[in-house]
Amino acid sequence: MSTIEHHADAAVSPHHDGVVQTGEGSQELTSRDLTAAAERLRELGAVLRMSEADAAQAELEAAPDDETMIINMGPQHPSTHGVLRLMIELQGEKVLRTKPIIGYLHTGMEWTGEELGYMQGSTNVTRMDYASPLFTETAFSLTVEQLLEIEVPPRATWIRMLMNELNRMSSHLLFLATNGMDMGAVSMMLYGWREREEVLRFFEKVTGLRMNHNYIRPGGVAADLPDGWRDDVLRLLELIPPRLDEYDVLMTGQPIWRERLQGVGAISTEEALALSATGPVLRSTGYAWDLRRDQPYLAYDEVDFDVVVGTFGDCFDRYAIRLNEVHESMRIVRQILEHLPKGDYRIQDRKVTPPPRARIDESMEALIHHFKIFTEGFKVPEGEAYCAVESPRGELGCYIVSDGSSKPYRMHIRGPSFYNLQTLPHLMHDGLLADAVAIISSVDPIMGEVDR
Partner 1 sequence: MTDETAPASNAEEASDDAAPEPELCHGVPVTRSRGQRVAHPSRARLVELVRALHQEGYLQCLDVTGVDYLAHGGDRHLPEGLAPERFEVVYQLINHGTRERIRLRVQVPADDAVVPSLFAIHPGTEAPEREVFDMFGVRFAEHPDLTRILMPEDWVGHPLRKDTDAGRIPVQFKAAPASR
Subset of residues 3 to 22 that bind partner 1, contact rule: CB under 8 A: 3, 6, 15, 20-22
Q: Which helix (H) or strand (E) holds 141?
A: helix 133-148
Q: For the segment 371-390, give every residue that binds partner 1 (CB under 8 A).
A: 382-389
Binder among 67, 151, 259, 365 for partner 1 (CB under 8 A) = 151
Binding mask 280-319 for partner 1 (x = CB under 8 A): -------x-x-x--xxxxxx-x------------------
Q: For residue 412, what are the β-bridge partners? A: 399
- How is the beta sheet containing 69-73 ordered, strand by strand? 69-73, 85-91, 94-101
Q: Does 246 bind partner 1 (CB under 8 A)?
A: no
Residue 151 or 430 having the CB closest to partner 1: 151
- Within 10 Å of residue 223's Cβ, how many Cβ atoms? 13
Binding part of the chain for partner 1, among 35-43, 189-197, 203-211, 434-442 by CB under 8 A, reads 35-43
Residue 427: exposure state from Cβ atoms within 10 A (0-12, 13-18, ≥19)? buried
Task: State how far the Cα of 354 lies from the Cα of 117, in Å rounded to an integer.
Answer: 14
Per CB under 8 A, which of residues 125..144 are in contact with partner 1? Answer: 142
Cα separation, 40 vs 108, whole angstroms: 30
The DSSP code sequence of 78-96 is TTSSSS-EEEEEEETTEEE
Report 179-208 residues binding partner 1 (CB under 8 A).
Answer: none
Per CB under 8 A, does 55 bind partner 1? no
Query: What type of residue sits at position 353?
Result: T
Question: Binding to partner 1 by residue 85, rule CB under 8 A?
Answer: no
Shortest reach from residue 382's CB to partner 1, in Å = 4
- Window 404 to 423, contacts with partner 1 (CB under 8 A): 404, 409-410, 412, 414, 418-419, 421-422
Interaction between residue 449 and partner 1 (CB under 8 A): no
H helices present in 149-212, as ranges: 154-183, 186-207
58 binds partner 1, rule: CB under 8 A: no
Neighbours of 2 (CB within 10 A): 7
Smaller CB distance to partner 1: residue 10 or 320? 10
Size of the site for partner 1 (CB under 8 A): 73
